[in-house]
Structures are given as C-alpha cells and as structure tokens.
Amino acid sequence: MLDMKWIREHAEEVQLTADRKGIALSVAELLAEDDRRRSTQGETDRLRETRNKLSEEIGRWMRNGRREEAERGRAEVRELNGRIAVLERELGEAEQAMRLLGERVPNIVSPDTPVGGSDADNVELKRVGEPPLFDFEWRDHMALAELHKLVDVPRGVKTAGSRFYYLTGAGVLLHRAVQQLALDLLIEKGFAPMDVPLMARPDAMKGTGFFPLGEDQTYRIADEERYLVGTSEVPLVTYYAGEIVDVAEPIKLAAASMCFRSEVGSAGRDVHGLYRVHQFAKVEQVVICRADAEHSDAMLQEITGHAEAVLRKLELPYRQMAVCTGDMSQKTYKQYDLETWMPSRGAYGETHSSSNLHDFQARRSNIRYRDENGALRYCHTLNNTAVASPRILIPLLENHQQADGSIRIPEALRPYMYGMAELAAPST
C-alpha cells in the first residue's frame, strides 16, 4: 500500500479518493489500528527488554547462591512471558487488521483526473477520424461474422457456456493478424517481447493491485492457490518483483497472451456478440521507469500513442477519453481510454486503456531502483492495451463492410492476412 506515514499526513485526501473510487474503506480505522500496533509493539518491546535483563540477573543470583531471589525472578519472568504472549496476540491482530485495511487503500489520482461516478462522466479529449455514413443496409459484426463464417457462438456455448465462442476461418486470421500488427509495432518502438505465464499466485495478483478488490473478476484454479490472469500486466510487472532494477532507460515489455475474466456483475450488459466475453487475447505494453512524475507522464503519452497508432493502421475512427475517478481502479493514478466507433452500438466503445500507476504497484511488488544519490526508491509502472481481440473485430468488421457484404481489409493488415485485400462476399 502507500507509505503509512504519507497516509497519516494525507488522511483526508486518501479517504476522499477511496470515496470517489467507490472503495469501502475507513482511513480513520486504519490509522487507529496503526496506533494500536505501534502502542502494542512498544509495550511488547519494553517487556521483552525487562525480561531479558531479569534473566541475566537470575543467572548472576544463581552463580552467587542467591536462590530465593532467583526463584522470585523466575516467577516474575513467567508473569512477563504471559503478558508478552497476550500482547503478541494483540499485535498479530492489529497487524492483520492493518493488512486487510491497507490492501484496500487506493492510489491517489492526478490533479487533472475528472471527478465522476461512472464512465458516463469520462471527459472526451479528442476525436480522430469520422464514423462512416453507409448508403446501404449495413450489418452488425455478428451478422457479418455469420455471413463470412468467422465466429461460431452456439458451439462455443455448447462447449464452455455463455460468452464463449469459436473463431473460425478468416476470423482466426483477423484475430491473430491484429495481435501481430500491434506486437510488431511495439517491437519497433523498443519493447522487449515476452511470452508469459497465464496463471499467477495470489501474491502476484496482490502485488499488481488486482487483489483483493478484483478477486471476483478472476477465475481460480480449483484446489490450487493459482488464478488465471485477466491481463499479462500481472506477469509482466511481477517479472521484476522483489528486485532492484536499472531504469537509466525505461524498461519496456510487451506480451501477446490469452486473458480470462469472469465478468461478475455484468449480466445483461454488453452481452451481444463479441464485446464482453470470458476469454480473449491482448497485446499489453508495460513500462517500468524512475519515480519522476513528469517522466512517467511522458511515458503515459507515449504508450497511449502506440495504441492510437494501431487504430490508425486499422483505419478506425476513435476518441480519447480522460477517465474519471468513479471509473478508475484502486491502483490507477491517471488513465486514458480509447474508444472506437462501433456502428452496431451507435456509439464509441472502449477498446484500449492506458494507466499510470506511479509507485503503487512497485511498492506492493517491491520493485526498486537506485537514484542518482544511490538511495533506493520505488519505480513508477505503467500499462496499456495495444490491442484486444476479439473486441477489436467489432469495429474492424462493421466500419470496413461494403454494400455487397464484403469486408475491406486495411492496407496495414494485409501482410498478416496472406495479402488479402478483402473478405469477399459469399456467392449466393
């Protein structure tokens, strides 16, 4: 969590942030438990010191034949041990209470983060491109997918249940193509590609800020203390957990991986087609850098720019949103979303997210570096979705459909699609 001294000095700000992020937390209770812990620890240390000195006295009394004094001393030591045992239990209780409360402490937010209660209060910063104006009867992505045999939802449901699907034929090619396009772009920008574990231990989930508040969104492996990750951000950041790293230049990592989310609480919301599914793939970029606010903000602009570059290559209209407090996660300091135009929604839908976490994750994961004076400091960490599929297939199919039912493939994507310029309309 955040530094306890800092929390104490900024208690009102921390409480306000928790309230605005919708996190049930009493900072006053946390501070009270910290007071109890410190008081109990001090009393425990004092009694231990008294016991140790008395034990030394008993040894001298025994050597000098002063048995009665030694026996009285032993009785006093037994009494001290009992009192210490009680205090140690109280100390454990206080530390446990502090740990549980501390795990709920939110990261503060940037001064320019909008205040709001939900994504409806996010603030549009810019728009790029124009939504298409169709002069024909257009189809939504599921109708297009059926026409071109790209997706099979009924058999996905038969196999795994609701919100599962099969990608088939050219649907698989598009799914893999957009990932490789994004990964190649990141490699060109200096990101080191990695293939990562898709399961993580609880400490990795806590260290990256996904537990405890996001545990209900995560699939747990039965009878094991492992979880399926909802983003490769978890293994990418945890790669350096507990280490002292060199951030003379920012560490830039990228991974293309499958992701899994239970989507608890989203019943009845965005369930049509491919928008909100349990299994998907993401190309994620993670940056670990020195703890300088201007520097990490520049990194945020950079990684957001990479995601925008992917959308431009896919020739899709989008807008950039400043995410408000009520739509932010516990761990986020500043966040941008990119929303892409989806004709079937008649609106922009979120396809990308960029976050600057400052040192929140690094504190939890214990990732540090030495500054110019040799002092150890916690790093800043950032992450961004370069592309997520199959959600990106929604605007890709819908925006590039043509009157005859064919789907134009953006030029930048064609090398990854065996040179295909379009998905031709099936012959009737």
The correct CATH number of 119-423 out of 3.30.360.10, 3.10.290.10, 3.30.930.10, 1.10.260.40 is 3.30.930.10
- If pLDDT is split at 50, 70 and 90, which confidence band does 272 have? confident
Spot the catalytic one: 353, 355, 365, 406.
353
257 contacts 196 by C-beta, under 8 angstroms? yes
Beta bridge partners of 167: 151
- Residue 20 appears among annotated catalytic residues: no
Residue 71 clears pLDDT 90, i.e. is over it: no
pLDDT of residue 70: 87
Spot the catalytic one: 263, 284, 339, 350.
350
- Alpha helices for 264-415 (secondary structure H): 293-313, 360-365, 393-399
Mean pLDDT over 3-26 rounds to 97
Query: 101: which 2 tokens?
Result: 């409360």
pLDDT tens figures, 304-337: 999 999 999 999 999 999 999 999 999 999 999 9
Q: What is the mean pLDDT of the chain?
A: 96
Residue with tokens 């992917």: 310
DSSP 3-state assignment of 337? strand
Q: Which of 80, 58, 78, 79 is nearest to 69 (CA)?
A: 58
- If pLDDT is split at 50, 70 and 90, which confidence band does 264 have? confident
pLDDT of residue 266: 59
Spot the catalytic one: 104, 276, 319, 414.
276
- If pLDDT is split at 50, 70 and 90, which confidence band does 271 have? low
Report domain extents, the chain. 4-102, 119-423
For domain 4-102, give the CATH number.
Answer: 1.10.287.40
Q: Cα(171)–Cα(24) distance, rounded to whole angstroms?
A: 42
pLDDT over 90 for what percent of the chain? 91
pLDDT tens figures, 349-390: 999 999 999 999 999 999 999 999 999 999 999 999 999 999
The total of other beta-carbon atoms located within 10 Å of residue 16's CB is 17
pTM here?
A: 0.93
Letter for the amino acid at 270?
Answer: D
Q: How far from 51 is each of 46, 54, 74, CA to CA, in Å?
A: 9, 5, 10
- Residue 232 appears among annotated catalytic residues: no
Mean pLDDT over 183-211 rounds to 98
pLDDT tens figures, 100-159: 999 999 999 999 999 999 999 999 999 999 999 999 999 999 999 999 999 999 999 999
Residue with tokens 């508040």: 213
pLDDT of residue 185: 98
Mean pLDDT over 247-271 rounds to 86
pLDDT tens figures, 336-348: 999 999 999 999 9
Query: 225: which 2 tokens?
Result: 């203390």
- Residue 350 appears among annotated catalytic residues: yes
- Alpha helices for 334-392 (secondary structure H): 360-365
DSSP 3-state assignment of 192? strand
Q: Which of 217, 218, 259 is nearest to 390 (CA)?
A: 259
pLDDT tens figures, 19-69: 999 999 999 999 999 999 999 999 999 999 999 999 899 888 888 988 888
Contacts for 257 with CB less than 8 Å, ≥ 6 apart: 195, 196, 198, 229, 232, 281, 282, 284
Mean pLDDT over 393-404 rounds to 98
Q: Cα(407)–Cα(140) distance, rounded to whole angstroms?
A: 12
Q: What is the β-pairing status of strands 279-289 and 318-322?
A: unpaired
pLDDT of residue 135: 96
- Residue 353 appears among annotated catalytic residues: yes
18 contacts 25 by C-beta, under 8 angstroms? yes
pLDDT of residue 67: 87
Spot the catalytic one: 261, 290, 363, 368.
261
- Residue 276 appears among annotated catalytic residues: yes
